Amino acid sequence: MAVKKFVVGNFDDETVLFPAVKKVRRAGYKIHDVFTPFPIHGLDKAMGLRDTSLHTAGFIYGISGTATAVGFITWALTVDWQLNFGGKPFFSLPAWIPVTFELTVLFAAVGMVLTFCYLCQLAPFVKKDHFNPRSTDDTFVMALECTDKTNETEAMSFLETIGAKEVKVEYKETEWWIGRYDKDKKLFHKETKNNH
Amino acid sequence: MSIRENFVVPKRYNTIAFALMAIGILAIIGLYVTSGSKDDPKEQARFWASLLQNSVFFLLVVNASMFFICATTLAWGGWQMAFRRVPEAISAVVPVIGVICGAILLAIAFGDNHTIYHWTDTHHVAEDPILSHKKGFLNKGFFAAATVLTIVLWSVLGWKMRKLSRSLDAKPLATVEERKKYIWNNTVWAAVYIIVFSLTVMSSIPWLWLMSIDAHWYSTMYSWYTFASSFVSGMALIALFVVFLKNNGYLEYANNEHLHDIGKFMFAFSVFWTYLWFSQFMLIWYANIPEETIYFQPRAHGIYKGIFWLMFIINFIAPLLILMTRDAKRNYGTITFMALLIIFGHWLDFYQMVFPAVSPQKVPMILYDFGVALGFVGLIMFVTGRALSKAPLLAKNHPFVKESLIHHT
């Protein structure tokens, strides 16, 4: 739990936001996050976010679903409780394919939803600050994280020149589960040590 | 920025196409000498079965391009505009292979040799209660009429769609009203094509052309399953041409996003094919009724076992694992390799649809059939190349072009 300082710019158009994101990154500021009312194609690329590994997780969940289904049915019908269905062999794979398929889908789907919720910090009762409630309606919010080298007034006027309608400095609590910023934080500390 | 609007057929391209066609003709001659000219009706049937398998397969594959165009048109999709001229050019092969295929089908149906379509033998049908029940559907007249009508309708409606697309090249549409009218016009013709397509490839024509080889056996899944086969190969063929044109510096506006979507089609319809293949297989396996399982006896257990399972691995397991990731669908190398593999796999699929009934005792020498297939590939290359060079590669006046240029997956 750390309270950090942010320079927050509010934009009212994504056609302004898009070049602004690129300019901010080129100027060397660190974008904490961008909050938009709707998904914007290509914004992740512009922000330089890495590709999600959600699908890798999905593949692993799916494989475990397949393994669970085949493993359990094999054990149940060939070892534990052999049943004769119309003279078919005890190990009759074609009959198990539908169940295997369903379990694969179920594991992959449920697992991916839960992983997605975890990655996005979505859960009942979890509160997360979006800097500006209007980012769920009609405003595009870009939050720059301030380091101790950041000159806020410069950052604010820079945001204004690239089209932000409203700019302010805010102190916000970043909760511990914002895991992906941990690494950056360490780098940040290392740099300051070198500087001092 | 200047773009290379018109495809110029490279000399080497046509040389390869003609070489492949020559191989095809040599294979047909070789096959005729070794099988077709023999007195044994079984040997003759082996010759005709090869022509039947190859011509029907490649006709359905090139026709899938027009289905792709019409399905996307009907859905008012715009993403395919950047490369739409490619499937258009491929569908220009339909009349050519259609004539060849129609001639082969009619020759088999009206010939004296009843080994392939044994329902054409009226004496045999009279004594066979199952076949005489099916007489209303399986008879020469209906077969000939359906075949000719199908091929003519595919060709004419495909020609109409291509003509609509090219009509814009010379005169841009000025007003919104005109554009709306143009899109509506396209939609109506695409709908007509889809109706014809669903009444033929998706429901009845594979029954007539392929399933009636095993005239006693039937499967209601069969046409859908054949459609899935032909559509996934058709998408693979489109992918091959798109990659070829990109590598030669054409299609500047078709980028990885478009290739990714073509790859998705290849991936998704490979799984869809498996779904239908398995649905057909499992019900028959479960019920275990001799008159139904007889279809799978030579295929899954008999001498065609190798081809049967090889085709399953190529058509399902390989696309599933290789095309699953996003990077694979955006990689020219992977897409090209998988497209070739998928087309080969579904060619094998058609092979095992046709041959076990014609030659149940031994697997025929497959190299001849490869040769015939290469001939058809050469023909497709030549005609598609010609069609590509005739019109600009981008339908730049189409109202949906912008949507395709900014397409993002």
Q: What is the pLDDT of residues B260-315, one digit of tens each?
A: 999 999 999 999 999 999 999 999 999 999 999 999 999 999 899 999 999 999 99
- Evaluate whether B399 touches B116 at the Cβ level (below 8 Å): no
Low-confidence ranges of chain A (pLDDT < 70): 1-2, 125-128, 173-196
CA distance B275 to chain A (A): 10
User: Which residue bears the tokens 């938009």?
Assistant: A36
Chain A hits for B286, CB-CB cut-off 8 Å, are 86, 94-95
Burial B325-348 (b: 16+ CB within 10 A, else e): eeebbbbeebbbebbebbbbbbbb
Q: Cα–Cα distances in Å, from A140 out to A8, A12, B350, B394, B406?
A: 10, 6, 55, 36, 22
For B327, nearest residue in chain A (alpha carbons): A51
Instruction: Please state the rounded mean pLDDT for residues B112-130.
Output: 91
Contact B281 A94 (CB under 8 A): yes
Where does A2-50+139-195 sit in CATH, by number? Answer: 3.30.70
Of B282, B326, B408, the CB nearest to A97: B282
Q: pLDDT (tens digit, 9 = 90+) per residue, B69-100? A: 999 999 999 999 999 999 999 999 999 999 99
Q: Tell me which residues of chain A have a C-beta less than 8 Å from any C-beta of chain B.
A: 41-42, 51, 55, 59, 86-88, 94-95, 97-98
- Residue whose tokens read 């554009």: B179
The reported pLDDT for the residue numbered A1 is 53
Among A132-136, A186-190, B48-52, B131-135, the least confident range: A186-190
Give the nearest partner residue to A94 out of B282, B326, B408, using CB atoms: B282
Residue A40: closest C-alpha in chain B = B408
Predicted pLDDT at A183: 40
Query: In this complex, do B408 and A41 lie within 8 Å of one another by their Cβ atoms?
Result: yes
Contact B285 A94 (CB under 8 A): yes
Rounded CA gap, A70 and A102, in Å?
Answer: 11
What single-letter amino acid sits at A153?
A: T
Predicted local confidence at residue A127, as pLDDT: 67
pLDDT at A182: 39
Closest CA to B338 of B231, B263, B256: B263
pLDDT of residue B2: 61
Task: Establish if B327 touches chain A: CB-CB under 8 angstroms.
Answer: no
Which residue in A41, A51, A95 is closest to B286 by CB distance?
Answer: A95
- CA dihedral sign, ordered B113, B115, B116, B120: positive
> Is B282 within 8 Å of A42 when comparing Cβ atoms?
no
Closest Cα in chain B to A85: B286
pLDDT given for residue A181 in this prediction: 37
- Residue reference for tokens 């001659």: B29
Query: When comparing pLDDT for A173 and B140, which is higher?
Result: B140
From the list B27, B44, B64, the residue with the least C-alpha distance to B376 is: B27
Mutant choice from A97, A99, A100, A102 vs B, greatest count of B C-beta within 10 A: A97
Residues recorded for chain A: 196
Q: CA-CA distance, B68 to B177, in Å (whole number)?
A: 26
**DSSP SS3 for A34:** strand
pLDDT digits (tens, 9 = 90+) for B225-267: 999 999 999 999 999 999 999 999 999 899 999 999 999 999 9
In the sheet where A166-174 sits, what is the strand order?
Answer: A30-35, A140-145, A2-11, A166-174
Domain ranges of chain A: 2-50+139-195, 54-119
Q: What is the mean pLDDT of residues B374-400?
A: 94
Q: Which of A106, A21, A91 is nearest to A58 (CA)?
A: A106
Radius of gyration in angstroms for the set of CA atoms belonging to chain A, rounded to a whole number: 25
Judge: A86–B288 Cβ closer than 8 Å, yes or no: yes
Contact B324 A59 (CB under 8 A): yes
Closest CA of chain A from B282, distance in Å: 6
For all residues of chain B together, what is the average pLDDT?
Answer: 93
Residue pLDDT, tens place only, B328-345:
999 999 999 999 999 999
- Other CB atoms within 10 Å distance of the CB of residue B365: 14
pLDDT at B329: 94
Rounded Cα distance between B216 and B292, Å, is 9
B408 touches chain A (CB under 8 A): yes
The pLDDT value recorded for residue A176 is 45
Contact status of B281 with chain A (Cβ, < 8 Å): yes
d(CA B368, CA B29): 10
**What's residue A193's pLDDT?**
45
